[in-house]
Each structure stands twice: as C-alpha cells, then as structure tokens.
Amino acid sequence: MYELVIRSRRVVLPDGIRAATVAVRDGRIAAVVDHATALRGTTIVDLADLVLLPGLVDSHVHVNEPGRTQWEGFATATRAAAAGGVTTIVDMPLNSLPPTVSVPDLGVKRAAAAGQCHVDVAFWGGAIPGNLPALRPLHEAGVVGFKCFLSPSGVDEFPPLTLEEVAAAMKEIAEFDGLLVVHAEDPARLREPDGGSYRAFLDSRPGAAEMVAVQQVIALAEATGARTHILHVSAADCLEPLAEARRRGVRITAETCPHYLTLSAAQADSTAYKCCPPIRDAANQDALWEGLRSGVLSCVVSDHSPCTPDLKVGDFATAWGGISSLQLGLPAVWTAARARGFGLTDVVRWMSTAPAELVGLTDKGRIAVGCDADLVAFDPAGSFTVEPNALAHKNPITPYGGQELSGIVHSTWLRGRVAGAGHPQAGRHLLIENR
C-alpha cells in the first residue's frame, strides 16, 4: 500500500516523456511503473490528459524576510512558489536584514522562516568585504554556496567585492569545494541614466558591462579552480566567453531568467519592467535561447526580486530594479519555449534538474525512485490571462499583467502532500548537514 499513486499518460522522466504510474511512500518516490500497472494507494490520482512534472527548483529567490518583510516574506513567497509549480526555492542572502553573511545571520533567517514555508527552502550565504573568515563556517552550517556582486547591489548592507576580494573568496571557497555565484556587471562601465526613459536606463547598463565582468570572473575561476556560476545573464555577448571557458575546462556555469527570455526592451512601458541587468532587445533574446539550446546557459530561474509599490513609482532612473515572477516562471517560459520548438523535457531540465544539480540537492529535480515526491500536475495546452491581483506574491507588481500565457499548474505536491494555500506548511530547511 502506497500513500499516493498518480497515473498520467505523460510523465516527464529523466529518459523522456511516457505514460507511467508514480507511487509515493514516506514522502519519496517508491516506484515508477508502466501506466497500466495497478497499484494500491491511500490516495489515487488519475491525471488523464495532464502532464506530471517534477517540482521546479528555483535557485534564485529574494524572500527579503526578516527586515524587509513588507517587500515579501516566506509565507507569501512559498505560497506563490507552490502555485507556480515550484517545490524548492533557494533564498538569496541580501535584501533581508541582516543579510546572511555569518552563521548567526543564518540562524536569524531560519528563525524567521520557521513554520511559514509551503515549499522547501535552502539558503545562499553572502560574500562581502570583510567576511572572508565566515565563509567556511557558513558552508559547514549548511548554505548551498555564496553570492557576491562586482557592482553595487542596491542595498548598502551588502556591498560589492573588488576583483582582489573575489580572488580571495574564490581561493577560500575552492579549499572546501564550495560554489560562488556572481552578479557580474563591471562597475567601470555602468553610469547613472541620462534621463528617466527605458532607453536611458538600458544605455546606462550596456551589455559590455556584463561581458567584461564575465571575462574577469572567468579569469579568476580559471586561476583558482573555484566552482563558479554567473547569475541572470541578460547580454548575449557573454555567451561566447562562457562557451570558450567551458571548452578549456573552467568550472563555470551560467543561468538566465524568464524575463530575459520572454520580454523585450520594446515592451518596457512601465517600471514593472525594470531589473538589473536590464531586459534587452529581441535579437539579444533570440541569442539567449540559442545559449540554452547549446547548453552554455544551463538554468532558468526567476531572480524573484519584489518590492513595495511605492518603490516602483517614478521613472526608470529612480524606481527599484527587480521583477516578481516566482509564480509565473513556468507558464512564461513554456509559452515562449513551445513557440520556439522546445519541449517540456527542455523546460524541466532548465527549471528543475539543472538548478537542483547546481546547488547539490540530489533528491530534487527528477521523477525517479528515491527522490523526494515533489510533483506537479500541469496542463501545457491550457491558457490564462495574468491578473496581478490574483497572484500570491505579497506585492503583485508584474510586467506580465494582461498577458495571455500557456500552461496551467493544477496541483503541486511536496513530498507527496498537496502544497500551497489552505494546506499544512510542511516546507523544510534544506541544509548541507541534513539533506
């Protein structure tokens, strides 16, 4: 007898899509068998024409609690995640107060998250000037890796590292085979916008600023041997340096985000579109998709970076730079991916399997025996119009408002239990020491 048995004519498995029956016991996938196999279960679900996906893993989420909980919080962020088919998030170390730059700070963050999480939560640590001695203790306390900036982060309590400081952090992190993730924009090539238009904002953060910073990070990663990941690539100019570095054996990977793949500069008619680095033109977007096709870009994650409505008031020179898309990432990416000839196996690889592998969550990201029973019932043919006020984010500000997207999440299970609003908050803290 299993706790849960789910049958679907289309299950996205590591070896492709096929009809199958998935059985759950003690929160883990206990069997994956032929669709026609009769299994006994306390709860039996027949998805008929819905697709069964592994739960998504979003390794780039700014929850902002504690300290800026009015921007977002663990309860609202994880509820939005569950609604969007995301069963694991990895919380970024900044925008909360304190930022997660020491073991006591991690304790404060975990205390704030306790009892509030509808999905599982892992944690990034931060690398900032002066906290080099804290990196190994944070690693031993269970963070999945360390985030740093090369340019100002937008909040004073999380300053950027110089290249010399990045090199020192890489050397330290390489000693315990940790992971450094980098917001890569060269501060020497950034400037204040010359006016409040989107064009002025875009010109102030050119693609060259990303490309030069990526080249600098590649050189340091190659010299130190540190495992390194480039966050939210928006500029296609970065792809060739990354590809060449990987051919040389440099331990470097890179991600992009739904907004860079689905929105373009020509659409940016409100500050809801402002993020850093910025959304660029359609030709650049086409090249990013080719970066996914080639594998230079391995992950698609949200960079969910919310704020209160007052911080989005004004123009593109003054408004907060961040996009809230945690709940909408799957349908946004699926809508665009399908139009470009990609399939659900591609989307699952980018949004579930690869992010789980990046952060070392070996029990996530796949429908396979022994993995956590994190599952999503998804209708790839359904469509809906985005209504911002219907989103579960604390502040439903989104550039997707009014857009019609394909793909509807019908149910999300976390370790075999229905996740989301109105259900037990069963999310766990995923630490290196206990995963």
What digits encode the pLDDT tens for the residues 72-117?
A: 999 999 999 999 999 999 999 999 999 999 999 999 999 999 999 9
Q: What is the mean pLDDT of residues 41-47?
A: 97
Between 420 and 391, the higher pLDDT residue: 391
Q: Are strands 227-230 and 16-25 parallel, antiparallel or unpaired?
A: unpaired
Query: What does the alpha-carbon distance between residue 146 and residue 125 come to, in Å, rounded to a whole number?
Result: 5
If you ran DSSP here, which 8-state letter would residue 388 be given? G
Rg, C-alpha atoms of the chain: 21
Q: What are phi and psi of 376, to 5 degrees?
A: -140, 130
Nearest to 433 by CA among 139, 175, 190: 139
Six token digits for residue 203: 């010109």
Region 212-237: mean pLDDT is: 98
Pair of tokens at residue 139: 């690693």
Please state the separation of Cα 332 from the chain's center in Å.
14
Q: Is 79 exposed, middle or buried (0-12, 13-18, 19+ CB in 10 A)?
A: buried
Give me the chain's average pLDDT, please: 97
Q: Which CATH class is domain 2-52+372-392+405-418?
A: mainly beta
pLDDT for 195 beyond 80? yes
Write down the domain spans for the chain.
2-52+372-392+405-418, 55-361
Question: Contact, 274 vs 321, CB < 8 A?
Answer: yes
Q: At what angle do helices 239-247 and 207-224 cross, to 10 degrees?
A: 20
Residue 255 has pLDDT above 80, yes or no: yes
Instruction: Label residue 27 left, alpha or beta by phi (over 0 means left) and psi (-120 to 50 means alpha).
Output: left
Question: Does residue 62 carry a pLDDT above 90?
Answer: yes
User: How far apart are the C-alpha atoms of 3 and 292, rounded to whole Å?
Assistant: 37
CATH level 3 topology of 55-361: TIM Barrel (3.20.20)
CA distance 129 to 364: 33
Going along 284-397, which residue ranges are E strands? 299-300, 375-385
Compute the distance between CA of residue 337 and CA of residue 339 in angstroms, rounded to an integer: 5
Model pLDDT, residue 424 = 64
Mapping DSSP to helix (H, G, I), strand (E, B) and coil, where does residue 115 land?
coil
Tell me what pLDDT residue 426 has.
Answer: 86
Which residue, chain included where needed, has tokens 């997660």?
100
Tell me the pLDDT tens digit for each residue of 313-371. Answer: 999 999 999 999 999 999 999 999 999 999 999 999 999 999 999 999 999 999 999 99
User: By C-alpha distance, which of 56, 49, 52 is closest to 21?
Assistant: 52
Cα(77)–Cα(119) distance, integer angstroms: 9
* Whether residue 435 has pLDDT greater than 70: no
